[in-house]
A = this chain, B = another copy of it.
Amino acid sequence: MSQPVHLVILITTRPGRGGDQIAAFERLAPIVRAEPGCLRYDLHQVTGEPDRFVLVERWSSEAALAAHDVTPHMTEADAASPAFRAGPAEVIRLDAAPLA
C-alpha cells in the first residue's frame, strides 16, 4: 500500500510581496484541496515576518502528488510565482510517520 507524502515548503517572497503570495494561495487552495488524495494544504505566515511562509502539504500517495504537480492550475501557479518570490521554494520531504 502506498505511503502518504508529507511536505514542508519554505517560501520567501521579494520584500513587501507577501500579499501576492497570500492572494495566489487564496485562489489556489480550494482547487488543490479538492484534488484526489490531498489531505492537507495549509499556508502559514512566519510570525512577524510578512515575507516568509511555510506551506504544509500532505498527500495520500506519491501518485496523488505527482498528479497534482502537473495540473494546469499548478503549472500556471509555478509560472507566476517567480514574479513575487525571492527565490525557489525550499521543499523538505518528510517521512510521513513521526519518529517515536
Task: Please give the distance in Å from A58's CB to the nearest CB on chain B.
Answer: 11
Stoichiometry (number of copies): 2
Q: Which of A65-73, A74-82, A89-97 contacts B (4 or more CB under 8 A)?
A: A89-97
A54 at the binding interface (Cβ < 8 Å): yes
Task: Please give the distance in Å from A7's CB to the nearest CB on chain B.
Answer: 10
Residue of B nearest to A99 (CB): B43
Complex contacts, A29 vs chain B, CB 8 Å: 100
Complex contacts, A25 vs chain B, CB 8 Å: 99-100
A22 to B100, Cβ gap below 8 A?
Answer: yes
B45 to A99, Cβ gap below 8 A?
Answer: yes
Complex contacts, A53 vs chain B, CB 8 Å: 99
List 12 contacting pairs A-B, 8 Å CB cutoff, sorted by A: A10-B92, A25-B99, A26-B100, A43-B98, A44-B95, A44-B96, A44-B99, A46-B95, A47-B95, A48-B93, A52-B92, A56-B98
